[in-house]
C-alpha cells in the first residue's frame, strides 16, 4: 500500500448507499465521520476510550480539520483509512494525519490533518493532558523521519 508514513493505524471501510450524495459519490461530510471513527479506534487501541476519558475528566476535542479531497469514492468501494499522530506538545495540542486509499487501484482519495486540544469534560475548557494521555498517546507519536512523502 502506498502509505505516506510508516506503521499506520488503519481501519477498513465500505462505501454504502447512505454515503452517496446527489452527485453520485461519497458526500464530503461522510469523510469527516470516517476520520472521527479512525481517530477513535486508534485512541481505543492505545487504551484511551470514552470510559477512560470520563474517568479522567479529559478529552481530545477537534479544533480544526484540513481536508484535501483528491478523488471520489463510489458505492461499494472498499477503502482503507490510516492515521498517524504526528505532533503534540504534551500539554494541550495534538495533530493527526490521515490518508484514505482505495486498495483496488491504490488511489489516494483523501489526505487530512486534524488538530485536537485537550479539554476538561466537566467545564469544556482547555486543560493540560493528564499523565495517562502522555503515557497512552506518547508511544504512537511518529517521528518526522518516518515520513515517506
Mean pLDDT by 10 residues, the chain (149 residues): 92 97 95 97 96 97 97 97 96 97 97 98 97 95 58
C-alpha cell at 105: 487501484
- The pLDDT value recorded for residue 149 is 40
Domain boundaries, the chain: 8-141
The listed CATH number (3.10.129.10, 3.30.70.870, 3.40.50.620, 3.20.20.140) that belongs to domain 8-141: 3.10.129.10
Q: Is 74 helix (H, G, I), strand (E, B) or coil?
A: coil
Cα angle 91, 45, 108; round to 5:
90
Amino acid at each position: 500500500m502506498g502509505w505516506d508514513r510508516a506503521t499506520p493505524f488503519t481501519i477498513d471501510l465500505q462505501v454504502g448507499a447512505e454515503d452517496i450524495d446527489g452527485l453520485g459519490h461519497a458526500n464530503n461530510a461522510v469523510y469527516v465521520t470516517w476520520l472521527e471513527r479512525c481517530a477513535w479506534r486508534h485512541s481505543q487501541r492505545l487504551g484511551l476510550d470514552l470510559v477512560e476519558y470520563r474517568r479522567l475528566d479529559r478529552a481530545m476535542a477537534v479544533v480544526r480539520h484540513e481536508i484535501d479531497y483528491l478523488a471520489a469514492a463510489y458505492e461499494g468501494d472498499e477503502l482503507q483509512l490510516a492515521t498517524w499522530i504526528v505532533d503534540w506538545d504534551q500539554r494541550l495540542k495534538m495533530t493527526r494525519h490521515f490518508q484514505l486509499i482505495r486498495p483496488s487501484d491504490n488511489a489516494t482519495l483523501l489526505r487530512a490533518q486534524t488538530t485536537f486540544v485537550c479539554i476538561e469534560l466537566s467545564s469544556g475548557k482547555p486543560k493540560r493532558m493528564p499523565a495517562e494521555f502522555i503515557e497512552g498517546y506518547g508511544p504512537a507519536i511518529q517521528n518526522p523521519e518516518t515520513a515517506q512523502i
